[in-house]
């Protein structure tokens, strides 16, 4: 494969290879201290309020999102995702209101989605006309988020999901296998630059949005199930290698990502990829980001680069993200999990059916992640008009109430000798949320800061509580326990200690509805 670098990377000590990245990169202290960030996974796919991956699934006959699109916009041979983009105006977006809410919730960094697999740039893209300054909101979404985030003292991040455009979009070049329009190709197969005359996208080539027909559904498939299986086997792949059938794609991705980095100078850059994307292009981008950031920050490393499923031999070269997943124990390198209180792109029926994650579950997740040397990046879905719904606002406010009271156990903390104890077991790795039982008041997570140990119960707790990790003369229980209190309460907490644990009696109605946090002080505990 050719070398895809479109321009020389920024000068500096980092070279575009794994040995250089791993041997020199160290995560900045701001990230290790921050613990909690909020993510606006927001773009034109939020406009239909019909959930994640709408732009792909609307072209898959029989999928519920395709049914929705046909009822709302029309048949995808006549009205495609371009028409959804035209509807997206973000007319009620108030970034000041949202960011003030997230600051009150305790967020120390904020991440804006720069582009999704739909190939639409939410910024003033130098290389791509399909962007939010040229159509839709007619504003530099990322630029506005960045300015207002930094004005509040938060670190700013941007997420780039564009490396999979080349295969993700292929259903747009397909057709209905069944019905009265069977065999008629969808809009991506038909639209040309000339068709834009007199429209909001005049002068642009739709093929630059849809990515080109590199593996369209072949002719002759006559049932929806077979078409779905074909897509899953061919364009449904999650391959990080540069596409052989579209050899200019990696260079285009690199140019656009470099433009994003150089223009907005993010403190955090999130790649929605397993390992780094697109072979050498991804390595080039990582080295450029690190080197360029040293120039922005007086030679000091202050940025974070996220990817997922990083092989063990590359640990430490960047900050690994565990999407909607868990770690089973403390990880020596700082890491991050990202999750969402609903669907990644706004989905109205989750609101209507009250199916969001509760604030309590988010807080419990935060305690678990931080105890294991991680950060929690929480997505709060935004509607197409730029607002969040009343239920989301209530959840974020409740998270903020808990953090305002217990934040000393979270922000700026470090893992203790063990992450915790309790009956709930967690799977290791990505996408484990749906298989996990809720935490309980018998699950405890530890952090430490300033010679103090904090123990958070992941559910309400009163009466007897024994913490075996603080057993006298145990490997983890070295040191003297001199004082125990519940944060936010003036109640006296009697305790005793023996070779089976630290034994406490928790009075009724102390702590918080989500659980209590113990502040345990003494000599040699941390």
Q: Say what the pTM is.
A: 0.97
Q: Does position 179 have pLDDT exceeding 50, yes or no?
A: yes
Q: Does position 4 have pLDDT exceeding 70, yes or no?
A: no
Share of the chain above pLDDT 70, in %: 99
Is 462 part of a structural domain of the chain?
Answer: yes
449 bridge partner residues? 452
Q: In this predicted structure, what is the pLDDT of residue 434?
A: 86
> Which residue, among 73, 86, 76, has the nearest Cα to 190 in the 3D structure?
76
As a three-state string, the secondary structure of 192-247 is: CHHHHCCCCCCCCCHHHHHCCCCCCCCCCCCCHHHHHHHHHHCCCCCCCCCCCCCC
Q: 308-325 as b/e, with b when 16 or more CB fall inside 10 Å?
A: bebeeebebbbbbbbbeb
Judge whether 122 and 241 are in contact, CB under 8 Å: no
Judge whether 133 and 122 are in contact, CB under 8 Å: no
pLDDT (tens digit per residue) in 301-321 = 999 999 999 999 999 999 999
The C-alpha atoms of residue 280 and residue 16 are separated, in whole angstroms, by 8
Q: In this predicted structure, what is the pLDDT of residue 245?
A: 82
The C-alpha atoms of residue 208 and residue 130 are separated, in whole angstroms, by 8
Enumerate residues 6+ apart whose C-beta is below 8 A from 50: 65, 68, 69, 347, 348
pLDDT (tens digit per residue) in 430-443 = 999 988 999 999 99
Q: Does position 526 have pLDDT exceeding 80, yes or no?
A: yes
Q: Does position 184 have pLDDT exceeding 70, yes or no?
A: yes
Q: Does position 35 have pLDDT exceeding 70, yes or no?
A: yes
Q: In this predicted structure, what is the pLDDT of residue 7?
A: 79
Q: In this predicted structure, what is the pLDDT of residue 19?
A: 98
Q: Read out DSSP for 358-421?
A: PHHHHHHHHHHHHHTTEEEEEE----TTS---HHHHHHHHHHHHHHHHHGGGTTT-B--SS-EE
Task: Provide the domain limits for residue 486.
Answer: 420-523
Q: What is the mean pLDDT of residues 281-293?
A: 97
- Lowest-confidence pick of 47-51, 78-82, 477-481, 489-493: 489-493
The C-alpha atoms of residue 468 and residue 503 are separated, in whole angstroms, by 9
Is 320 part of a structural domain of the chain?
Answer: no
Q: Read out DSSP for 60-114?
A: STTSHHHHHHHHHT--TTTS-HHHHHHH---TT--HHHHHHHHHHTT-SEEEEEE
Confidence of residue 6 (pLDDT cuts 50, 70, 90): low
| 274 HSE (CA, 13 A, CB side) | 9
Judge whether 497 and 476 are in contact, CB under 8 Å: no
Q: In this predicted structure, what is the pLDDT of residue 2?
A: 46
Summarize the chain as % helix, strand, coil (round to 5).
35, 20, 50
For 219, counting Cβ atoms within 10 Å of its Cβ (0-12 exposed, 13-18 middle, 19+ buried), the class is exposed
Is 189 part of a structural domain of the chain?
Answer: yes
Q: Does position 28 have pLDDT exceeding 90, yes or no?
A: yes
Q: What is the mean pLDDT of residues 253-268?
A: 98
The C-alpha atoms of residue 466 and residue 482 are separated, in whole angstroms, by 16
Q: What is the mean pLDDT of residues 89-100?
A: 98
Is 475 part of a structural domain of the chain?
Answer: yes
Largest CA distance in the chain: 81
The C-alpha atoms of residue 16 and residue 6 are separated, in whole angstroms, by 14
Judge whether 117 and 56 are in contact, CB under 8 Å: yes
Query: CA–CA distance from 44 to each of 12, 54, 202, 268, 403 (Å)?
Result: 37, 10, 18, 23, 32
Mean pLDDT, rounded, of the chain: 96
- Which CATH number do you get for residue 464? 2.60.40.1180
Q: Does position 290 have pLDDT exceeding 80, yes or no?
A: yes
- The tally of domains found in the chain comes to 2
pLDDT (tens digit per residue) in 361-375 = 999 999 999 999 999
List the structure tokens of 146: 């960045």
The C-alpha atoms of residue 239 and residue 120 are separated, in whole angstroms, by 21
List the structure tokens of 88: 């997206």
List the structure tokens of 20: 């250089």
The C-alpha atoms of residue 96 and residue 103 are separated, in whole angstroms, by 10
Judge whether 353 and 390 are in contact, CB under 8 Å: no
Beta carbons within 10 angstroms of residue 88's beta carbon: 22
Confidence of residue 1 (pLDDT cuts 50, 70, 90): very low
The C-alpha atoms of residue 39 and residue 61 are separated, in whole angstroms, by 31
> Which residue, among 475, 465, 452, has the nearest Cα to 515 in the 3D structure?
465
pLDDT (tens digit per residue) in 102-157 = 999 999 999 999 999 999 999 999 999 999 999 999 999 999 999 999 999 999 99
List the structure tokens of 300: 């000091």
Q: How many helices (H) and strands (E) does the chain have?
A: 16, 16
Pairing of strands 501-506, 495-498: antiparallel
Enumerate residues 6+ apart whose C-beta is below 8 A from 313: none
């Amino acid at each position: 494969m050719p070398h895809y670098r479109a321009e020389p990377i920024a000068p500096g000590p980092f070279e575009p290879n794994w040995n250089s990245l791993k041997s020199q990169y160290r995560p900045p202290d701001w990230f290790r201290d921050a613990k909690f960030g909020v993510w606006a996974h927001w773009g034109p796919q939020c406009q239909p309020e019909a959930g994640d991956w709408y732009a792909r699934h609307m072209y898959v006959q029989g999928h519920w999102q395709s049914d929705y699109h046909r009822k709302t916009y029309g048949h995808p041979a006549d009205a495609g995702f371009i028409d959804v983009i035209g509807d997206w105006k973000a007319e009620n977006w108030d970034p000041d209101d949202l960011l003030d809410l997230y600051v009150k919730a305790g967020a120390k960094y904020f991440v804006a989605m720069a582009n999704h697999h739909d190939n639409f740039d939410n910024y003033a893209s130098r290389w791509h006309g399909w962007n939010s300054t040229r159509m839709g909101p007619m504003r530099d979404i990322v630029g506005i988020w960045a300015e207002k985030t930094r004005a509040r003292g938060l670190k700013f991040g941007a997420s780039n999901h564009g490396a999979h455009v080349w295969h993700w979009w292929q259903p747009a070049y397909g057709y209905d296998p069944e019905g009265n329009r069977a065999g008629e190709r969808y809009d991506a197969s038909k639209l040309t630059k000339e068709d834009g005359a007199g429209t909001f996208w005049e002068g642009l080539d739709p093929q630059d949005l849809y990515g080109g027909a590199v593996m369209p559904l072949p002719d002759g498939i006559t049932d929806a199930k077979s078409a779905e299986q074909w897509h899953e086997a061919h364009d449904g792949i999650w391959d990080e290698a540069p596409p052989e059938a579209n050899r200019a794609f990696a260079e285009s991705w690199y140019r656009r990502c470099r433009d994003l980095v150089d223009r907005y100078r993010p403190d955090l850059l999130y790649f929605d990829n397993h390992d780094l994307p697109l072979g050498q292009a991804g390595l080039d981008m990582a080295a450029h980001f690190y080197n360029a950031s040293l120039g922005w920050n007086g030679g000091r490393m202050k940025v974070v680069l996220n990817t997922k499923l990083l092989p063990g031999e590359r640990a430490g070269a960047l900050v690994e993200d565990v999407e909607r997943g868990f770690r089973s124990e403390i990880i020596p390198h700082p890491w991050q999990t990202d999750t969402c209180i609903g669907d990644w792109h706004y989905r109205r029926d989750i609101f209507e059916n009250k199916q969001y994650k509760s604030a309590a579950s988010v807080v419990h997740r935060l305690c678990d992640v931080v105890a294991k040397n991680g950060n929690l990046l929480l997505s709060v879905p935004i509607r197409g008009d730029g607002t969040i719904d009343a239920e989301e606002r209530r959840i974020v406010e409740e998270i903020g109430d808990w953090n305002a009271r217990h934040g000393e156990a979270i922000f700026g903390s470090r893992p203790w000798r063990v992450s915790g104890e309790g009956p709930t077991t967690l799977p290791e790795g990505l996408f484990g949320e749906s298989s996990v039982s809720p935490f309980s008041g018998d699950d405890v997570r530890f952090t430490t800061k300033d010679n103090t140990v904090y123990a958070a119960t992941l559910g309400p707790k009163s009466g007897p509580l024994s913490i075996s990790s603080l057993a006298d003369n145990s490997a983890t229980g070295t040191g003297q326990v001199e004082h125990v209190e519940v944060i936010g309460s003036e109640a006296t907490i009697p305790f005793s200690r023996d070779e089976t644990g630290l034994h406490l009696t928790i009075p009724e109605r102390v702590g918080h509805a989500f659980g209590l946090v113990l502040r345990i002080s003494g000599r040699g505990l941390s």
